[in-house]
Chains A and B, each alone.
Chain A
Amino acid sequence: MLREKSRHKHHDSAVFHVQGSATYVDDVTEPIGLVHVAPGYASASSGKITSIDLDSVRRAEGVITVLTASDIKGVNDCSPAMGDDLILAQDEVFFHGQVVFAVVASSRTAARKAVKLGSIEIESLAPSVTIAQARQSDETVLPPYQFRRGEVEEQIATAQHNIKNKIDIGGQEHFYLEGQVAMATPQEGGGMHVLSSTQHPSEVQHCVARMLDVDEANVVCEVRRMGGAFGGKESQAAQWAALAALAARKTGKPAKMRLDRDDDMIMTGKRHDFQVEYEAGFNDKGILSAIKSDLYARCGCSADLSLGVNDRAMFHADNAYYYPSLEITSHRLKTNTVSNTAFRGFGGPQGMVFAERMMDEIACRLKLDPLDVRKRNLYAKGRDVTPYNMQITDNISLAMIRSLEKSSNYRTRRKVIKKFNRENTILKKGIALTPVKFGISFTLIHLNQAGALVHVYTDGSVQVNHGGTEMGQGLYTKVASVVANEFGIPAAKVKITATTTEKVPNAAPTAASAGSDLNGMAAQNACIIIKKRLATLAAQKFDCKVTELEFADGVVTGAGRSIAFAELAKQAFLERISLSSTGFYATPKISWDRENVAGTPFFYFSYGASCSEVTIDTMTGEMRVDQVDIVHDVGKSLNPAIDIGQIEGGFVQGMGWLTTEELVYNEQGRLTTHAPSTYKIPTATDIPEKFNVELWPSKGNKAATIYRSKAVGEPPVMLALSVFSAIFDAIASLKPGSVPKLNAPATPEEIMRAVNAMDADNE
């Protein structure tokens, strides 16, 4: 159990953030001789490279050298696993924005200006850009995958009611405020030191080593903090680190590569956009007997992390609902667009949009309150086996929904809204209460491991290091609290140090919401090892049993005697006892047999529920969120302030995805929304004044996690589905019984399209 005194009151870097003294990669004092790297790409999206003319680039002011694929001595690949992502293009381009060459110059501006002088000729092919085009050509990056149970077709056909529909779900740009950046410094003996804004330092290390053709032991990757990541720096930070390292190797000088915002948005992958086609059979009460869905995802030009993303979309196509019979099929489409990647939720949000849309549609058809339909379909006793054959044992969805239904005053507001909609012809209101159930663990089982390194110094101060990275989520703060708690010392005595492959090797990416679950446990294990040594010494001194000792308030007590923790550390040093240890953790009990759809892929589930009310303008499609109420389960919180920050921030990010954030590609496959002037993430005005967030009064995670806390990084994104459903509800009020054809994101234009379609709908 985490004692209050060990808990940090604020994010460990909060003061540095507000002072501007928190150091990001681009803020590190620049080494002498630093050179700058900028990327160049072709104007086409697809086709053979027939010529690359870089003569005028080389002659441009400040240019030192130019990098092309032929400069790579080792492996030209920055993919996470499949070997299909080139660091620099060779022979062919697969998407608009693929890096073909890179300029190394004495200043960043000189490098960027020189890039524009490059001339790349492509024997251009007609690009396959959209999901529709990819479905037609049937090109995929990975084979399809399916969950199936029961006599699906028969169940649907014989149900009292059945539906067949589809929905398009847009992608999402991460828009981390700190763009992609890396700085590489050559080391003696062919080594390379890389500062990278990455969620996955080990992968950057491995990628750079492969590319330079040196041992992994010769490359160090370090990251103190990122200015946001959200999945966008899980696999896709590697390319920029590799190019910086390549420039450093070629020039013998330190090299920095920081992408311009537009380049960042054009050259890096996003949340996958989906098209879901579905059928369902249900009874008069809206209870499902069978569903059938096909999830078509635009993966872009390569596999990247699309296997895991699309698997997770399937894992969450049930959200919190029981499907007696089911068929869920995932199609991983290949297009001539940037390779889509991890984004907070990792496919889960898209799967859940389908589940919630189905609930809304069923309610609409049966003229029931959508909340009642949702409640009737929740997992429950005897209805607790997921589409992937895992039994759910920690379900609290119904209790949470009931609690929120009451605290948000849902039923009364539903009546008020009905009255408002009767009295207003132009403005219409809608409300929705939706649940979230999110599985915690990497579904790639071997990633569920972590290492930590803890040092105790002779003055009783402590340094902790672990394989997790800090991207703003407060991981460092939480792990430091664990260490302080284990030693019974104040939080201020624990110094957090930058993540580096030198201290903890072979770490998993900081992803899947599992950062504090994994690294908190690894750090705790390191502390337990050191504490055991200290306890043995103290027990000798106090002449008592180790079990009688207590570490608290900076003092170790036992048998009526006490010694300051610092003094005990000094004594241990004098007694030649090691004050340092690594710690290791591997999540127990999980397994996943993908081929046979069997096992326990998740250690536990995180739950939440949210209720949103919106107003739309049926003449223009404008929309405003009026009120949001959220209850979310974080188990026994490691830090309530940080957890609430994750919940609110995740919700708003999800809301942006489903409302204002629209990625637009033109027919040539070029992204036309590649800057904040055209791609609109929420601002302060977009969040409602009535925004109530409560932590679920949990007795603790049933699974044995660190102090019985729960993961919180990703699940809150999906709380925003209540906004999307509320917009659907507002549109549905125009013609009871008709189903709005609303796709995501619900921009003003999309809302108007759905409003107009209601007029046309004569069903």
Chain B
Amino acid sequence: MTARTNIRFLRHGEMVELSDVDPNETVLDYLRLREHSTGTKEGCCEGDCGACTVAIGQMENGEVKYQPVNSCIQLLGSLDGKELVTVEDLTSPASPNGTLHPVQSALVKHHGSQCGFCTPGFAMSLFVLYHTDGVPDRSQINNALAGNLCRCTGYRPIVDAAFEACSQKAEPRNSGPFSLLSLGDDIFIGDDNRFFASPASENTLARLRAAHLDAVLVAGATDVGLWMTKQLRDLPKIIYLGRVGALQQIEQTENVLQIGAGVTYAAAFDVLGKFSSDIAAILRRIGSTQVRAAGTIGGNIANGSPIGDMPPVLIALDAQIELKNQTGSRSLNLADFFIDYGKQDIQADEYLANIKIPLLADNQHLRCYKISKRFDQDISSVMAAFRFTINDGVVSDARIAFGGMAATPKRAVRTESAINGLKLDDAVGWQKTADHLNEDFAPLSDMRASAGYRMATAIALLKKSRIELAEQSHTRIYGDAYVA
């Protein structure tokens, strides 16, 4: 079967077909340099400020659903089969004077712009919120805006605008002919030395992976994007995973939740959030709405980042991962996947296929804590996840995992064995046990926190989890109101 040699997406209600897509070209560069649409701004070019936010529309169950993404690190090739909506599209083109979109009029009415540079990004985040079902409350608005930085207004007028614009029922939008985009075929643009490939099946993915061991697999590009925009690396061979259907599946059996490696944080939010309110609270704080719309749990694992928030949680939950290549597959404990900084147990021809997470038994309790300088979109100085099995007030099978404490997400094996057998109400015992973390970890000092603070906080969090489990007392400054 020959692959398609172009991408097709919707823009202003019409199909755009591009056959000249460089593997490193971003959506923002396409907009500003090719289309000369300068409404979308570059603030940081690393997905942290949201000035470049655009909305991506996708058909889901016969309806177009919008997600906000940071166009500065989004690959142009990933737009295939989707609709690209930018700030220029919000004002009704039918009226020459420009009838403002409800989110735009609300921003004007509430004085939601000062210098105006961040405003197009805010307008697009609000556009997505406007098209999301339901009337948002303050925490949902905060969540929708967490990936957009404003240095002028102090946010209050923008929040007010969000309340006004997004409380009304959305006017349906004419996206254009999605049917013309012909989904489901493999895409390969370029030649064997430089290409953007977007396989539509696992077979093609496995074949490409085997044929191009030096290619980079990309899902949301929330990390790889920065290799290009910040490290200025040239990545001549890109295999995009977003159209491989098998990697997008979420399946739940009686005991196990299986999440495909290409499932985004946004897509996994509901099912993972149901695991426990602690996971929901952590998911809410991973990146921002834009980052979670693009970023995948699989990507967070596969790139072996020592600071990802999800791997410690998954390690505490005793998750397994499945790696595949052209000839077969193998499973291993996630905890064993991370070997050292930048070194994972994966072969050049393998790709991460899925993650299997055992469900919590009634007597298993999960506690997760994310410590960072800022509540939203901040990489953790310490990320802690604990799973305790508790029978008659006694702990067994403790699984204690941390991020930010070592070169990889890592279990505290010595502490775990010391804690097994302890009673929950044995405060003195836990106090001593927590000190074993000093044997399990030797954290580093960096711009996020010192080694001393990291260690002291890790110990404090372990103690805190006991207090919460034993005494059920309120111990966190961020209450449930902060979980969207």
Contact indicator A260/B45 (Cβ below 8 Å): yes
Contact among B98, B155, B457, B474 for A652, CB-based, below 8 A: B155
Return chain B residues, CB-CB under 8 Å to A648.
153-154, 156-157
Q: Interface size bucket, B side?
A: 35 or more
Contacts of A650 in B (CB 8 A): 154
A14 to B406, CA, bound (A): 48
Q: Which residues of B contact A11 (CB under 8 A)?
A: 111, 113-114, 116
Inter-chain CA distance A22–B374, complex, in Å, is 31
Q: Determine whether B327 belongs to the interface, using a CB cutoff of 8 Å to chain A.
A: no
A139 at the interface (CB under 8 A from B): no
Q: How far is the CA of A753 from the CA of B379 in the complex (A)?
A: 21
Does A473 touch B at the CB level, under 8 Å? yes
The answer on a CB contact under 8 Å between B371 and A19 is no
Residue in A112, A229, A680 with the greatest tally of chain B CB atoms within 10 Å? A680
A426→B374 contact, CB < 8 A: no
A160 shortest CB reach to chain B, Å: 39
Complex formed: what's the CA distance from A642 to B112 in Å? 10
Contacts of A17 in B (CB 8 A): 107, 113, 116, 119-120
Indicate if the CB atoms of A748 and B371 lie closer than 8 Å.
yes
> Residue-by-residue, is B333-374 near A (CB-CB < 8 Å gives 1, otherwise 0)?
000000000000000000000000000000000000101111
| B158 lies within 8 A of A20 (CB) | no
Question: Which residues of chain B are near A27, meaning CB under 8 Å?
Answer: 38
Check B217 for interface membership: any CB of A closer than 8 A: no
User: Within residues 170 to 202 of chain B, which ones have a CB less than 8 A from any CB in chain A?
Assistant: none
Q: Report B-chain residues with C-beta under 8 Å of the C-beta of A10.
A: 108-109, 111
B40 on the A face (CB < 8 A) = yes
Q: Which of B108, B381, B467 has the most CB of A within 10 A?
A: B108
**Least Cβ distance of B250 to chain A in Å?**
28
A residues in contact with B148, CB < 8 Å = 683-684
Q: List A contacts of B111 (CB < 8 A).
A: 10-11, 14, 641-642, 644-645
Q: Which residues of A contact B322 (CB under 8 A)?
A: none
What's the least CB distance linking B144 to chain A, in Å? 9
A260 to B232, CA, bound (A): 12
Once the chains bind, are A685 and B376 in contact (CB under 8 Å)?
A: yes
A474 within 8 A of B: yes
Would you call B138 an interface residue if the criterion is a C-beta within 8 Å of the partner chain's C-beta atoms?
yes
A736 shortest CB reach to chain B, Å: 22
- Say whether A677 contacts B46, CB under 8 Å: yes
| Interchain Cβ contacts within 8 Å, total number | 263
> Which residue of chain B lies nearest to A178 when distances are taken between CB atoms in the complex?
B117
- A16 contacts B by Cβ under 8 Å: yes
Is the CB of B142 closer than 8 A to any CB of chain A? yes
- A651 at the B interface (CB under 8 A): yes
Whether B46 and A675, one on each chain, are in contact in the complex, defined by CB atoms closer than 8 angstroms, is: yes
Does A472 sit within 8 A of B, measured CB to CB? Answer: yes
Q: Beyond A19-B88, A683-B377, is A649–B116 a contact (Cβ under 8 Å)?
A: no
B149 interface residue, CB < 8 Å from A? Answer: yes
Q: Is the Cβ of A684 less than 8 Å from the Cβ of B117?
A: no
Contact call B146/A426, Cβ cutoff below 8 A: no
Provide the B87-114 mask, 1 if CB < 8 A to any CB of A, else 0. 1101100000010100111011101111
Docked Cα-Cα span, A676 to B46, in Å, equals: 8
B48 within 8 A of A: yes
Stretch in B8-16, B269-277, B425-433, B475-483 touching the partner:
B475-483
Query: Which chain A residues border B39 with CB–CB below 8 Å?
Result: 19-21
Chain B contacts for A677, CB-based, 8 A: 46, 48, 379
Chain A residue at smallest Cβ distance from B118: A177
Set A21, A678, A686, A689: member contacting B375, Cβ < 8 A: A686
- Check A619 against B463 for contact (C-beta < 8 Å): yes
Contacts of A599 in B (CB 8 A): none
Complex Cα gap A672–B461 (Å): 27
Given contacts A113-B232, A649-B152, contact A261 B43 (CB under 8 A): yes
Q: Which residues of chain B are near A664, meaning CB under 8 Å?
A: 447
Which one, B60-68, B408-416, B448-456, is touching chain A?
A: B448-456
Are B40 and A20 interface neighbours, CB within 8 A?
A: yes
A165 at the interface (CB under 8 A from B): no
**Does A616 sit within 8 A of B, measured CB to CB?**
yes
In the assembly, what is the distance between CA of A691 and CA of B155, in Å?
11
Given contacts A226-B115, A648-B154, A681-B151, contact A620 B460 (CB under 8 A): yes
- Whether a CB of chain A sits under 8 angstroms from the CB of B378 is yes
In the assembled complex, how far is the CB of residue A433 from the closest CB belonging to chain B, in whole angstroms? 19
| Contacting residues, chain A, for B450 (C-beta < 8 A) | 749
Q: Are A624 and B477 in contact (CB under 8 A)?
A: yes
Chain A 211-231 interface mask (CB, 8 Å, partner B; 1/0): 000000000000001111110
- Using A16-B116, A642-B111 as known contacts, say yes or no to A684 and B159 having CB atoms under 8 A apart: yes
The smallest C-beta distance from A748 to any residue of chain B, in angstroms, reads 6
Interface string of A586-602 (1 = CB under 8 A from B): 00000000000000000
Complex: A371 Cα to B117 Cα, angstroms: 39
For B447, the chain A residues whose CB sits under 8 A away are: 662, 664, 672-673, 678
B238 within 8 A of A: no
Contact yes or no, A230 B100, CB < 8 A: no
Q: Compute how far the CA of A500 lies from the CA of B116 in the bound complex, rounded to whole angstroms.
A: 20
A748–B373 touching, CB < 8 Å: yes
Q: Is A530 an interface residue (CB 8 A)?
A: no
B88 to A, closest residue via Cβ? A20
Determine the chain A residues whose CB is within 8 A of the CB of B45 once the complex forms. Answer: 260-261
State whether A13 and B116 are in contact (beta carbons under 8 Å apart), knowing that A18-B100, A749-B381 are contacts in the complex. yes
How far, in Å, is B117 (CB) from chain A's closest CB? 3
Any A CB within 8 A of the CB of B283: no
Can you give 5 contacting A-B residue pairs, CB < 8 Å?
Answer: A20-B87, A22-B116, A177-B150, A228-B151, A653-B154
**B interface, CB within 8 angstroms of A:** 36, 38-46, 48-49, 51, 86-88, 90-91, 98, 100, 103-105, 107-109, 111-120, 123, 138, 141-143, 145-146, 148-159, 230, 232, 369, 371-379, 381, 446-450, 453, 456-457, 460-461, 463-464, 467, 473-478, 482
Q: What 5 A-B pairs are tightest by C-beta distance, nearest first?
A: A20-B39, A472-B115, A227-B117, A17-B116, A652-B154
